[in-house]
Structure formats: C-alpha cells, structure tokens
Structure 1
C-alpha cells in the first residue's frame, strides 16, 4: 500500500503540485526539502532501514568512488562538447540564456542540488525503490521506479520544448515528450544501477549533480562561446 501510494504521489508531484506553487527558487527548494524530510520520516515509520534507503554510512566511501567515477565521465563529455564548436549547439538551453552570473550560481549551487537532486534521489532511488523492493522482485521494482521517474518529467519536458521553441503542436510534441520521458526513465535505471552497485545513495546523487549542474554551466559556456 505504501509503495503504490508513493508511486501515485510522485507521478503527480512534478506535474500537478509544483506547477501550482509560486515559481520562486525559495518556494521550490523549501517545498521539496520539506517533502524529502517527510518522505524519509514516513519510510522509517513503515520500517524501511537506512541500508534499504541507501543511507547506511558504512557505504558512503563506495558511493563516493562509484559516483565520482560516473561524474568524471559526464564532466569529460561536457568538456569535449564545449571544445568542439559543432557540438556546442547541443548544449544550449534557452532557459539559461542571458542569466547573470549570480542567478546562474543560485541555479547550480542551490536550486538544482537542494531542490531537484536531493529530493529526486531520496524519492526515487531511495524510498520508492526500497518500498517497491519489499513487494516486487528487484528488477521489477527498479523498472517501475524508473517508469515513474519518466512520468515525473512530463511537465519539465513541455517547459523545455516551449523555452527552446522545439517540436510544435500536435503529434510532434507528443512524440518529443514520450521520447524525453523514455530517456529519463533510462537515466533512472542508470542511477538505480549505481545505487545498487555501490550500496549508497551518494553514487547516483553525484552523477545526478554532475549531469544537471555541469550541464547548466556547460549550457551557459556554450552560449557565451557562440
């Protein structure tokens, strides 16, 4: 019951709850951090252990090794894309275009790490995965958690398409959203593999941070490089 309810809540959270709130960074980060704390408390109340949640301190070193290695691969990829002029347009994101340095720093140091990465990793690779693994075989639990992670990205994908003037109306937009959600579901499986391989939530957190934060910096750099 807990696992099914959580899957439904998470499927709607990013698509229904967040859009209804004021769009400021303070609200976004505050609400998601509060949700993180409440979710961890609920997980512990239903008997999920710190180890099941990926938060066993004895696994932090392994998480740092695996996550650091994965983050290094992502950083190298961004560096190569920035170094090759023909690849730079792939990094650009109009949502970050023209942001002054201070606003970009808030995105990279506050909004993304605290409002997005911590919340998503605790919710999906921590609590939801652990709850599902109590009632399903692990491969099925991992697949379902990844599917919900894909659904979580419907609204953000629509926002990105609109901001970057991509995939107009109708079937093209539906296809673009479907492909983006499948892509994020696949990314969720990678994050889950890291979580299970290392035994620590720190591993997917580090990869997620590198993907999103370095991606924002790379987009800004690509824009300025022309």
Structure 2
C-alpha cells in the first residue's frame, strides 16, 4: 500500500458498547422489585442474591472494579466520606427527635419495635436486605453501564430517577404507617395515595442525587452506602427513642 493510499484510508471508528446490557439490568431490577413487593419474597435473601448476580453480570460484561465503585484504591476515601455523612445525619435526626414539633415524623408504626428488634433491623435487615441490593444496583452496576453511553450528569440524574421509581410500590404503606405523613395528607381525599407515591418517588430521587454525588466525588460505592445506611437505619434507631418520648 502506498503512502498516499494509507493517508486517504478512513480511520477506524471506535465502537460504542451496546445498550442491551443496560436495558437488561433495568429489566432485572423491575423483576426484583415486583418479586419483593408483589409476590412477597423475603428481601433478606433476595438482596444478597440479586447483588451478587448483578455484579457477576457486570464483570462478565467487562466492567472493572473501578468502574463499579469497588476499587481498593477508593475504599479509604469512601469510608471517610461515608462516616462523615453518618455523623451529619445523626445530628439532624437527634435534633428532630428532641424537638416536639418534629418528633412525630419518627413515629413510624413499621418500626415501633422492642430494642433488640430495632437493633436487628438497623444493623442486619436494612443493610443486608435493602442497602446491599439498592446500592449495587443503582450506584454500582447500573451506574457503570450508563457511564458507557452517557455523560456523568446524565448518569447521576438517570440512576437517581430510576432509584425514585424503585420506591413506587412500597410507598403505598407509608401514609398508614406514619401518623405525621398521614396528617399532612388528610385533606387530599382520594388523591392521598397518589400524593404519597409521588412524594416518595421525588424524595428518594433527590436522595439518589445526593448519594450519586458522593459516588461521583469519591469514586467509591462505600460513600453512598454510608449515606443510605444513615438515612434508613438511623431512622429506626432514633424512632426507637421517639416512641419512648411520647
């Protein structure tokens, strides 16, 4: 081949990864959500099984531990940020429980538990049955697949919106379980359920944005895990205190 021919030869185009693995992950998450909330499967085993399956598929598809937010090089910074967030959330919750005006927000009937059950829920059931799957799904595997096709802001927003939609089914129980939320929506009548679902989706999507920013800033899944545990598990522990103050 002559030099002139080589110069005019078109440069090879870089193939973009197919979108089908991303779509498959979304479909799997829909199936897991339905299985958990419609068919009544116990999430304490569904969470670890689902997380391991998603990670195995991600690794089989060529994603690295760094892309999944699980690189050993980012563990330290992830733990530091995670512990910092836990401390901030603990201070906010403490103030909320001590103030009578906001204490009712912690009186959730689902977590009106004896101390031993509250500790089991906060340190075993929530981390293993809820946080493990949700963090691996939305801030690790789905995040990494979306990063193949989208800009970072789109990854953060897209994963957060899907995280909000993940909570549509469990949102139906929130109004009856939490008296403060029920009182706030008592005047909505037939729209009470729809407002509860919409509010839950919006709130969790905003939480997903914060968790996503922690994931982006640190490169570590552990930072968003810390925030997720703080908002969920500390709510149970401080709810234990709130129920004893009423």
TM-score (norm 2): 0.85
Instruction: Tell me how far apart the structure 2 counterparts of residues 85 and 186 of structure 1 sit (CA, whole Å).
Output: 26
Q: Which residue of 1 aligns with 2:168?
A: 154
Are positions 1:18 and 2:18 aligned together?
Answer: no
Instruction: Tell me how far apart the structure 2 counterparts of residues 150 and 113 of structure 1 sit (CA, whole Å).
Output: 19
By relative contact order (CA 8 Å, sep 6+), the higher-ranking structure is 1
Q: Which residue of 2 aligns with 1:141?
A: 155
Q: Secondary structure at the match of 1:154?
A: coil
Instruction: Tell me how far apart the structure 2 counterparts of residues 75 and 65 of structure 1 sit (CA, whole Å).
Output: 15
Instruction: Tell me how far apart the structure 1 counterparts of residues 62 and 133 of structure 2 sit (CA, whole Å).
Output: 20
Give CA-to-partner distance per residue, 1:148-207, whole Å, 9 cap, x none. 101100111112223236246632221221121011011101101001101110001011
Q: Secondary structure at the match of 1:178?
A: helix
TM-score (norm 1): 0.92
| Matched positions, count | 221
Instruction: Tell me how far apart the structure 2 counterparts of residues 151 and 183 of structure 1 sit (CA, whole Å).
Output: 11
Aligned match for 1:2, one of 10, 18, 21: 21
Are positions 1:36 and 2:51 aligned together?
Answer: yes
Q: Which residue of 1 aligns with 2:109?
A: 94
Following TM superposition, the consecutive aligned residue runs of length 4 or more in structure 1 with deviations greater than 4 angstroms are none
Q: Which residue of 2 aligns with 1:212?
A: 232
Instruction: Tell me how far apart the structure 1 counterparts of residues 48 and 220 of structure 2 sit (CA, whole Å).
Output: 20
1:1-226 equivalence runs, <5 A: 1-14=20-33, 16-22=34-40, 27-97=42-112, 99-164=113-178, 166=182, 167=185, 170-226=190-246
Structure 2 unaligned spans of 5+: 1-19
Instruction: Tell me how far apart the structure 2 counterparts of residues 69 and 154 of structure 1 sit (CA, whole Å).
Output: 29
Pick the structure with greater CA Rg. 2
